[in-house]
Structure 1
């Protein structure tokens, strides 16, 4: 009994216990120029046997480039090239799972995603669906995954989405765009090699980086904010300012943006995003607008919610000579507006983080319609 008292394990009536979420993090991470070439030695201990391959899901932009010979293929490992031109879809995940199951007699030793947020999300989703039944659309939501995923490793070649560190894999489903949010989604290993960002087009670099910036603004201004998310969010925001408002050389900018993405993803692990992300989900579902661009299109009109963040965002647009697309929603039908608004409003945790538990008293369909009409 004395030992219990010393450890604080007594059930004293004055002491109120609170249950906090016990979130997983990436188990292992390697960072540094050229670290991609350690992939072979990293994967070796997780290989089960010659009949259990490692499947590499690779952005098809790298097909025929010098990166492919550096992928450590042995036994019957397989590379599947995938276009990242569109948002990842649930039926795409299901098709990849069917292909892998038909191609091999055993469950793979692991799935490796090499690319931007699309490829990383696909890798996470496929690794989950190889051990869980049904369609990936059935697992869109929060904590619906029942069985652990197989080993999965992420190699980001773009920075900003935070997909390399987050516990969600965002998918376009038959009825909505929503993540598979679970403790089994997080990567087992991440390889952060800044050299893989060399050659990323300027516009793509900006839009993906702005996803990180907007993550931070929404997290730091949210009602879910706590010291854990604040510490990561503030560092990520600082790094974003250096990258997009400073005068860094390209090598330093790559390294700092890669770490901004990591910290930005961590900032929402124990928090949440907000208005821009909620509204961009609707925009992506109806118009197929890619996530980074969608966030920017919405965020530009959110002065009411994030005045300081929008001011900084406009400075970044000017500094980097970026012109946002105009009149994106000008030809939408009433039905399309209605669908877009409904999808946005379904993102309840995001709205609660942005506006509080009584968020429905502060936002309505008419308000969302007025914002979408400006885009």
Structure 2
């Protein structure tokens, strides 16, 4: 679990107080990895740079890649004579996962691709702080940093991945475009559905999952003021991330990994594209999802897979079926007898 968290409007202003005790010396900087969306805004004036601290803007247009993490780690090691005091990620799931991965690879040898899997990280990473600017992914609280690798899309899942400190400031959510707000919020909703209906469910994950599920229904089906909705969605993301930390996601996430790997589909919309066709697995969740889309006038893109070759569809299915823990959570220990490559390809063809 994240050991320290600050919540509230304007709480980003506390970052100076939070970081100062963690600065080892003037030669050990803090590195801020910030969504390129904020480049040219006044955010940089609110970041307390000292000595050799650095802001690095990173585009979130594509999913974070292992080669991108490796290149950034190599640059930081070349630029500084000693390890940074910490890594601060400011942005959505892409930037939050990138910051976690960079913090880990600064202290663990080799490529980030070597650690795609479960509990492969052997050493604690650098001190790292997560500051989400959009809510839904749960990346601020999860024990994984999901990366696109040369052979698979898979997280660096470990107890060392979790952030040391998180700052939850709902003021950041004011800048989120409507469709992105919806797709990322649905990532949280789908987390909850998959966790609550999974075979890994336990009392701990259920308590968090139920709270996040109810908050998502308030935000996306209720009529509450915008500021209240922002705060509740931020907490839904937190609780949803905690729920899957003690259980697992399921069919939609496994299949969205296939979409992302082959077509570079972003995670939030990828989950939505898949989830709409999963009535067989999550009938109640899909029905609510359709109501949420209707209420917010969201129309999902069509024909995403229309021009995919047989080889591309096969690869999507292979990537998806490679996520064994997700399938076991969704279908039980004998999941391989309940789902096939052909079943997945048939669903992909509908997208």
Shorter chain as denominator, the TM-score bin is: over 0.9
Deviations 1:219-259 (A, max 9, x none): 00000001100000000000000000011111001100000
Matched, 1:191 2:160: no
1:106 maps to which residue?
A: 82
Matched, 1:211 2:190: no
Alignment of 1:236-255 (within 5 A): 236-255=212-231
2:157 maps to which residue?
A: 181
1:94 maps to which residue?
A: 70
Instruction: Find 2:331's aligned residue among 333, 337, 355.
Output: 355
Matched, 1:273 2:253: no
Report the secondary structure of 1:219's partner residue.
helix
* TM-score normalized with structure 2 length: 1.00
Report the secondary structure of 1:81's partner residue.
strand
> Following TM superposition, where does structure 1 have runs of at least 4 consecutive aligned residues deviating by more than 4 angstroms?
none
1:324 maps to which residue?
A: 300
Deviations 1:292-316 (A, max 9, x none): 0000000000000000000000000
Alignment of 1:1-375 (within 5 A): 25-375=1-351
Compute the displacement of 1:335 (Å). 0.9
Report the secondary structure of 1:198's partner residue.
helix
C-alpha distance in 1, partners of 2:246/2:229?
27
Compute the displacement of 1:289 (Å). 0.2
C-alpha distance in 2, partners of 1:199/1:101?
33
Report the secondary structure of 2:87's partner residue.
strand
Deviations 1:69-127 (A, max 9, x none): 00110111000000000000000000110111111111000000000000000000000
Compute the displacement of 1:132 (Å). 0.4
C-alpha distance in 2, partners of 1:242/1:66?
32
User: Which residues of structure 2 form unaligned runs of 5+?
Assistant: none
Structure with larger Rg: 1
Compute the displacement of 1:199 (Å). 1.8
C-alpha distance in 2, partners of 1:323/1:333?
25
Report the secondary structure of 1:261's partner residue.
helix
1:11 maps to which residue?
A: none
C-alpha distance in 1, partners of 2:114/2:306?
33
- The aligned length equals 351
C-alpha distance in 2, partners of 1:147/1:369?
39
User: Which residues of structure 1 form unaligned runs of 5+?
Assistant: 1-24
C-alpha distance in 1, partners of 2:21/2:303?
52
Report the secondary structure of 1:154's partner residue.
strand
C-alpha distance in 1, partners of 2:131/2:48?
13
Deviations 1:306-351 (A, max 9, x none): 0000000000000011000001000001110111100000000000
* TM-score normalized with structure 1 length: 0.93
Compute the displacement of 1:267 (Å). 0.3
